[in-house]
Amino acid sequence: MPEYLPIEYPIQIPYQLRVYFTKGVFDTANPLFRDLSCSRESGIRRKVLIYIDEAVSQSNPDLQEQIKAYFNHHENDLRLMGSQVLQGGESLKNDSSVVDRIYADIEENRICRHSFVAAIGGGALLDTVGFAASTAHRGIRHLRLPTTTLGQADAGVGVKNGVNFNQKKNFVGAFAPPFAAINDFNFLSSLPAVHMRNGYIEAIKVALIRDAEFFTWIEDNVEALKQFDNAAMEELIYRCAKHHVAFIATSGDPFEMGSVRPLDFGHWAAHKLEQLSEFALSHGEAVAIGIAIDTLYSEQKGYLSSENSARILNLLKQLDFETYSDYLEQKSGNRFPYVLEGLEEFREHLGGQLTITLLKHVGSRFEVHEIDNEVVLKVIQRLKNL
């Protein structure tokens, strides 16, 4: 058999990761949604299929009428193919029939690759709708309109979509940047307190690994943030989202082909705690505990000063985050708690080599490839005593 040289050509696909900030996105006087949907080829009336988080629909009872009025106002450019309500929350990502339903809607309404699927809601709904859109017809343009502080600051402005499988978070998913993310600050006004705070923890996370000055800003504005002051929350969301998008765009690994994922600081334990609690712990609550674990672990191993460790834990406490949960000590037959299984699941998720982000200073991180279980147990006991 003759020898053939390998055929190798680099393929470069440009992506534009865009996040817009506004108020009243479906106010007929606000052209942002129309302009974005029609920003590519002109003269084509765009089909848009919209999914709305049930909690968002209930807290904004006029939203669907506002959407209809907006599309009627821009009927020469936009065509609304339906605005459907889906139950939000993590249970949505556990129900495979939801993705099948969205596929059926896309097929029935002849939504094509020049159309849009828009999701309005929290992270679970954005993940589920985004996954369905990114896999139907090998990828339909999707728009994200996150309605929580967590979504606007972090999850909604990234490039990941996914659903859960076999009790494993985001086991099935795709890297598919949205056509755009639109942060409408007006949606935040109807959030319950727990969901207001959830986005704070991702801002603390990104400040700890990237920006000491931002961490100091959060400390200085802690009272305003506790009172959910609009200006303080909007500033926190903007700065956190900017860091998140900048890291994705400039890290050289936007689709996480490697094993270094600093944006997952505090998440190896958090993901397992969510599972153990059957998602009674919100993502933000679980990440706060995960950050506390990795902060104390960094201190216990001599990487982080006790002063900085205390500073971090104090900020979590000031913002009313718990740093301990009984789920940390749930055990199987051996002496190790279930939460330590999160390390193996995290390694599997990374694709082979365990890589955990730890801290040297506020705003300065590094990676390790091994975690000492005995030290983690000591950390859990310290958090329990606190």
3-class secondary structure per residue, 58-119: HHCCCHHHHHHHHHHHCCCCEEEEEEEEECCCCHHHHCHHHHHHHHHHHHHCCCCCCCEEEE
Tell me the CATH number at 341: 1.20.1090.10
Query: Rounded to 5 degrees, what are φ and ψ at 183?
Result: -95, 105
- In a shared domain, residues 171 and 201: no
Give a yes or no: residue 84 inside a domain: yes
- In a shared domain, residues 369 and 244: yes
Bridge-based pairing of strands 356-361 and 180-184 is unpaired
Give a yes or no: residue 265 inside a domain: yes
Give a yes or no: residue 381 inside a domain: yes
From 190, 209, 226, the end of a domain falls on 190
From 190, 209, 235, the end of a domain falls on 190
To which H or E segment does residue 162 belong?
strand 160-165
The yes-or-no verdict on residue 342 having pLDDT over 90 is no
CA 211 to chain centre: 19
Q: Which of 294, 278, 288, 300 is nearest to 356 (CA)?
A: 294
Q: What pLDDT shows up at residue 166?
A: 84
Contacts of 24 (CB under 8 A, 6+ apart): 30, 184, 186
Q: What pLDDT shows up at residue 225?
A: 97
Percent pLDDT > 90 in the chain is 69
Query: Residue 361: helix, strand or coil by DSSP?
Result: strand
Domain interval for residue 347: 197-251+258-385
Q: What pLDDT shows up at residue 43?
A: 65
- In a shared domain, residues 168 and 214: no
Strand ranges inside 209-271, DSSP E: none
Dist CA 74 CA 297 (whole Å): 55
Average the pLDDT over 290-309 and give the result.
97
Give a yes or no: residue 7 inside a domain: no
Query: Residue 331: helix, strand or coil by DSSP?
Result: strand
- If one counts the domains in the chain, the total is 2
- In a shared domain, residues 233 and 134: no
Q: Are 52 and 62 in contact (CB under 8 A)?
A: no
Give a yes or no: residue 57 inside a domain: yes
Give a yes or no: residue 299 inside a domain: yes
Give a yes or no: residue 5 inside a domain: no
Q: Residue 386's pLDDT band (boundaries 50, 70, 90)? A: confident
To which H or E segment does residue 142 belong?
strand 141-146
- H/E/C letters for each residue in 164-217? EECCEEEEEEEECCCCEEEEEHHHHHHCCHHHHHHHHHHHHHHHHHHCHHHHHH
Q: What pLDDT shows up at residue 259?
A: 62
Dist CA 181 CA 118 (whole Å): 10
Q: Are 256 and 175 in contact (CB under 8 A)?
A: yes
- In a shared domain, residues 176 and 204: no
- In a shared domain, residues 132 and 215: no
Rounded to the nearest integer, the mean pLDDT of the chain is 91
- In a shared domain, residues 374 and 233: yes
Average the pLDDT over 179-203 and give the result.
92
Query: Rounded to 5 degrees, what are φ and ψ at 329?
Result: -110, 5
- In a shared domain, residues 175 and 201: no
- In a shared domain, residues 347 and 322: yes
Dist CA 119 CA 52 (whole Å): 6
Q: What pLDDT shows up at residue 347?
A: 77
Residues comprising the chain, all counted: 386
Q: What pLDDT shows up at residue 327?
A: 92
- In a shared domain, residues 205 and 325: yes
The yes-or-no verdict on residue 70 having pLDDT over 70 is yes
> pTM score, two decimals?
0.90
Q: Are 244 and 158 in contact (CB under 8 A)?
A: yes
The yes-or-no verdict on residue 264 having pLDDT over 90 is no
From 145, 163, 190, the end of a domain falls on 190
Q: What pLDDT shows up at residue 351?
A: 66
Query: Residue 289: helix, strand or coil by DSSP?
Result: helix
Tell me the CATH number at 117: 3.40.50.1970
- In a shared domain, residues 214 and 175: no
Q: Which of 148, 266, 124 is nearest to 197 (CA)?
A: 148
- In a shared domain, residues 317 and 211: yes
Average the pLDDT over 7-31 and give the result.
91
Give a yes or no: residue 213 inside a domain: yes
Burial of 142 per CB tally in 10 Å (0-12, 13-18, 19+): buried
Q: What is the pLDDT of residues 89-124, one digit of tens each?
A: 888 998 889 999 999 999 999 999 889 999 999 989
